[in-house]
Amino acid sequence: MIGYVTIGSDDLVASRLFYDAILQPLGGRAIVAAPKMIFYALDGGATMLAIAAPYDKGAVTNGNGSMFGIPALTKRLVDAVYGIAMRNGSVDEGGPGYRTPEMYIAYFRDPFGNKLAIYNVPSVAEFAKGAEKLVEKMTASSFAG
C-alpha cells in the first residue's frame, strides 16, 4: 500500500549511523546514499524508508501524530532492535510488550525526534481480528453505566 515514507533529518551522517544500526537486524540496508537523502529497503522489497534533508532547507520538524511502524519477523527482533535504538540515542516511548493480544511492539523516538514503532504480528488478518475485538470491548465498557 505504501511505497516509501520520508523522515527529515538535519544530520544525515548521524542518521545513517542510527538507521544502519536499527535496520540491519531487520534485513534493511541503505540502497541509495545521496548527499541529501538515504533510501533504505529490504532486499527484494518494494517499500522504502527515506531519510532526507528538507528540500526547502528549512528546519526539520516532527509531524504531530506521525509515527512509522517497521515490521520485525519475531518478537526477539523487536526486543533486539529496541535495545539497539536505546544504545544509539533513542528516547523510550514504550518498551517492548503486547499492546493487543496479537501485536508485540516497542516505541521510541530516533535521535531527531521522529517516533518509530518496531512490531511483530502473526499476520495482518489476525491482527485485524484481534483489534476489532479490542475496540468492541473498549466501546462496550465506555458505555457501561
pLDDT interval class at 142 (50, 70, 90): low
What's the CA gap between 85 and 23, in Å, rounded? Answer: 10
Torsion angle, alpha carbons of 102, 21, 54, 43, to 10: -70
pTM, full prediction: 0.81
Mean pLDDT of 44-70: 88
* Angle, CA 91 vertex, CA 2 and CA 93 arms, to 5°: 65
Check residue 126 and give its pLDDT.
78
Query: How is the chain split into domains, by residue range?
Result: 4-56+67-142
Q: How many CA atoms lie within 13 A of 86 on its CB side?
A: 13
Binning pLDDT at 50, 70 and 90, where does residue 1 land?
low
- Between 124 and 34, the higher pLDDT residue: 34
For domain 4-56+67-142, give the CATH number.
3.10.180.10
20's CB contacts (< 8 A; 6+ apart) are 29, 30
CB burial of 8-31 (b: ≥16 within 10 Å; e: otherwise) equals: bbeebeebbebbeebbebbebebe
